[in-house]
Structures are given as structure tokens and as C-alpha cells.
Structure 1
Amino acid sequence: MTSSDLPAYRVRVSSRARHVRIQVSAAEGVIVVLPRAVNPASVPALLWKKKAWLDRTLSQFEGLQHQRPLATQNASPTFIYLRAINQQFQVTYHKAANLDLHLDTLGNQLLLQGHVTHDSLVRQTLQRWLTEQAHLHLPPWLETVSKEIGLKHLKTIIRGQRTRWASCSQRQTISLNHKLLFLPPHLVRYVFLHELVHLVHFNHSPCFWTLLTHFESNCRSLDQELRRAGHYVPAWAERR
């Protein structure tokens, strides 16, 4: 079993929490509340222990998700977890009439000031921040994998594609989706391998899969897992 078999969930770190709490509602789905001392990486194992209960509880809300108010769907996050690099960020908001919208960072703290009730502005601001994080972390990681398997590309581009995790052009340019930062590291690595192999086989022919299998014997399973990985991406990160 993999984490993709778990229901979609969000993690919220609370300085007041003394124990791990799992909250389920029709409005917000599954939320795991963690004390600061608990590593978010432990959440999947915790949820597996409650899998039967989660399935029963979520089934009671089946059909209600489509009735969720738009304001709830667009709710600004108070916590961001970038699984790919195992970094978590606390997000706070300060309403100020004299500022359009401004984001300040201090370590793993994000402060948005200005028109913080404007969902579209908040989403765009956080997406720009996400792109900056992707530029910082993804190209060096791709370069490491490239050197490891001996397949060299010429250029890396960071984008926010709606339907693709990544792509490779015939000019040997690899485009990476900034939303890769929400995926588990093993899936990000698989995406890198997949696109690097396209430098040799610009298709999905048997030769492509043979070479990819040489670098990653579990590639077929990982490919299927990647197809179900959209639940890792929060609503605010999706472009409208």
C-alpha cells in the first residue's frame, strides 16, 4: 500500500496542540493537527492506523463535497508543507488597507500583509512564492539526477502547468511544474528520470520504457502512482 491509497488530507501545526488530532468534516475534508514537536513526515503512518475509520467517516459525507461553499474552497492556507523537500511553513495574515498585497519571509514563517481577504491576490502571491521555491530547489536536484545517470539536458524551466508535472522539448529543455514540491521525494525523482530519458527517446515507445526501467526498475508502478498524485496539491496552488 502507498500514500496514494490514503484520502486527501491537510496538515496543520499548532503550538497549543498536545497530541495529534485527526479532524474530518464535509467542509474541509481530513485535517491532521500536529504539535510542533511531531514531524509531518509521520502523518501517513498515523493515517494508516485510522484508515478504516476514515473511510467510514468520509463515506458519510459523500456527495456533500460538491456543495462546499466557494469561500471554503479558496480559503487561504495557514500551513504549507512541501513534501518534496520536507519543509513546512507557517502562514499568517495581516490586513492593511494601505498595501495591495505583500509577502515577507522569515525562515519558515510567511507573512502576507495588505488585502489578505482577496482570495485571487492571495493565491497569485503564494503561487509566485512557490515558483521561487521551485527555482531554488528543483533545478539543482534535477542536475544531480542527471549526473547520476549520465543524461545531460541543456536547460531547466520552472512553470505552473495545469495538466503536466514536467515536459521535455526536442531542444533538450526540461520544464518542471512548481507543484512538484508538494509530491513525495520518490515521485519527484521519478519525474526527473522520466524526462531525462526523453532526451534519448522522445516518445513512450518500448525502447523508452526499457531505458527507464534500467534506471528505475519500479517505473511502471511509480507512473501509476504519479497519475493519482493530484491530491497532494492544495487548491490555492491550482491556476484558475
Structure 2
Amino acid sequence: MERKKSSPTLASGILEKEIDTIGLVQFVPSATAKYVRISIRPCKGVRVTLPKRATLAQAEAFVQEKAPWIRKHLSSQQLQQSKKTLFSPEVEFKTRFHQLLLLPHPLPHCKSRIKDGVLYVWYPEQIDLQHTDVQDYIKNAVEYTLRLEAKRYLPQRVAHFARQFGFSFQQVTIKNAKTRWGSCSHTNNINLNLHLMRLPEHLCDYVILHELAHTVEKNHGPRFWALLDKISGDARGLDKQLKAYRLEVF
């Protein structure tokens, strides 16, 4: 009696496959996954996580079913990636309080220094400035500078608005969060993202006021927006402006 052939499983490990109209897709078996999940990661593409005993045919069918959704999100990510800063001497880049200055040098590694309002970054002259390692080093140096600025500037700005509008808070913590500009805990500790220093001053102030409003109103109900509108002048309009900025787009 001839045994019916079954579709291959992915139990043996990760598989990458080119899918028409989508591109390269990574199929990843998981011992804990109970259902198929698709994620689209910046610069890394499409990842499909699924139960180990799922077949490749089942996984591909699911991807084809979700193809319009995948293409939409890939297009959105590509647009955001195209807006990322490519650091170069020809393009001026400033933090709130520092000017970035890029300089080639003969050493085989990057180095940086902050002095008199300038962030100096030296990069190996024998390496293309657009090389990922060099660009990552520059970005990390900029983020370090942003953190220094944020620690100096943001807590006193929170204190200023708290005095002006009569709010009380516990402490201010500076973080390099990936999804939020800021947050307020149930005990009124305020967390602010160091990347607020990349925003225009009025939007940085809006985020601070947003979190201070949460010391009184813990949700985003009508009373919260009424309070925020009162202290900011145009809560909905400022919130719309803020949405034009992305934490992951530098």
C-alpha cells in the first residue's frame, strides 16, 4: 500500500524562502508557539513564527493569505527607513545643544569627544563613512550626547511646568525607550525619552505637559484631554504634530 506523502515540516530549523511580491521571508519554528504569527522587523524583513509541526505549505499559504497586509507594512517601513539620517560632513546635524562634526583620521577605529558645544566624531579615513559600523558608532555617540542633554534639561523643565500649573510628581527618569516619548506611573514617577531632545521645543514641552496631566488623570478620557488642552493650548493639534515624528527614525 502506497503511503501518502506529507508536506515537509519546519522542525529541523529556520528556513528562508523568496516569496513572490513579498521578497525574502524567514520561517522560524517555535516550541512554544500555538499559532502562526507574522512580524515585520525594520531592516530585517518578514519573519513567520509558527508551531514546530506546522508544514512549510501551511506556512506559505498563510503568508499568501496575508500578502496585502505584509506589502502594506513593508512599504510603510521602507518609507520610514528612507527618512533615516545618513550622517555625513555635507549634511548638518544638531542636537538641542550640540553641533555634530565628523572628521577622518588615520586610526583604524572611531572615537568621539564633546567640547564647547561640539560633538566631535573621528572615523577611519580608509573606511567608507556610510559603512554600517561607522554609522552605528555616530548614532551611539549622538544618543550619548542626547542623554547628557536630557538629564540636564528635562527634569528642570518638568519642575518648571509643575510649579506653573500646580502639579506634583515624584521623580523624573531619563530612558532610551523604543515605543514611548514618555510615561507616568501610578505613583507619579515620570519617565521621559532622551529622544525628546530631537523634537522641536514646543513638542518636547507638550510631552512633558502630557505626562504631568497624567499625575491627575490616569487615563485618556475626556477629563484628561480637557486638562491637557487647558495647559497646552491645543492638545489635539499638538498630538497630531507629534505623530509626524518617529522614535525609530533618527
**TM-score, normalized by length of structure 2?**
0.57
Aligned-residue Cα RMSD (Å) equals 3.1
Partner SS for 2:94: strand
Residue 151 of structure 1, CA deviation: 0.3
More helix by share: 1
Distance 2:155 2:238 in 1: 21
Structure 2 residue 105 is the aligned partner of structure 1 residue 95: yes
How many residue pairs are counted as aligned between the two chains?
A: 166
* Equivalent residue runs for 1:67-86 within 5 Å: 75-78=86-89, 79-82=92-95, 85=96
For the 8 Å contact 1:74–1:119, the answer to whether it is kept is: no
For the 8 Å contact 1:187–1:226, the answer to whether it is kept is: yes
For the 8 Å contact 1:94–1:111, the answer to whether it is kept is: no
Structure 2 residue 203 is the aligned partner of structure 1 residue 187: yes
Partner SS for 1:103: strand
Partner SS for 1:229: coil
Distance 1:138 1:170 in 2: 20
Residue 218 of structure 1, CA deviation: 1.1
Structure 2 residue 219 is the aligned partner of structure 1 residue 206: no
For the 8 Å contact 2:214–2:224, the answer to whether it is kept is: yes
Distance 2:106 2:93 in 1: 23
Residue 180 of structure 1, CA deviation: 1.1
Moved more, 203-212 or 87-96: 87-96
Residue 94 of structure 1, CA deviation: 3.5
2:147 maps to a residue whose letter is T
Unaligned ranges ≥5, structure 2? 1-74
- 2:158 is aligned to 142
2:215 maps to a residue whose letter is L
1:97 maps to a residue whose letter is L
Structure 2 residue 187 is the aligned partner of structure 1 residue 156: no
For the 8 Å contact 2:180–2:193, the answer to whether it is kept is: yes
- 1:166 is aligned to 182
Q: Cα deviations across residues 144-186 of structure 1 (Å, max 9, x unaligned)?
A: 1111111021111111222211111112111111111121111
Residue 106 of structure 1, CA deviation: 2.2
Residue 229 of structure 1, CA deviation: 2.7
1:75 maps to a residue whose letter is L
Residue 96 of structure 1, CA deviation: 4.5
Residue 205 of structure 1, CA deviation: 1.1
Q: Cα deviations across residues 75-107 of structure 1 (Å, max 9, x unaligned)?
A: 32543233xx5x451412233536x54321221
For the 8 Å contact 2:213–2:227, the answer to whether it is kept is: yes
Moved more, 170-179 or 191-200: 170-179
2:150 maps to a residue whose letter is A
Taking structure 1 as reference, are residues 223 and 66 closer, same or farther at Cα in structure 2, changes over 3 Å only? closer
- 1:107 is aligned to 116
Q: Cα deviations across residues 185-237 of structure 1 (Å, max 9, x unaligned)?
A: 1111111111001011111011211222222331111111111233xx795x4
Taking structure 1 as reference, are residues 162 and 234 closer, same or farther at Cα in structure 2, changes over 3 Å only? closer
Distance 1:74 1:186 in 2: 22
For the 8 Å contact 2:206–2:238, the answer to whether it is kept is: yes
Unaligned ranges ≥5, structure 1? 1-62
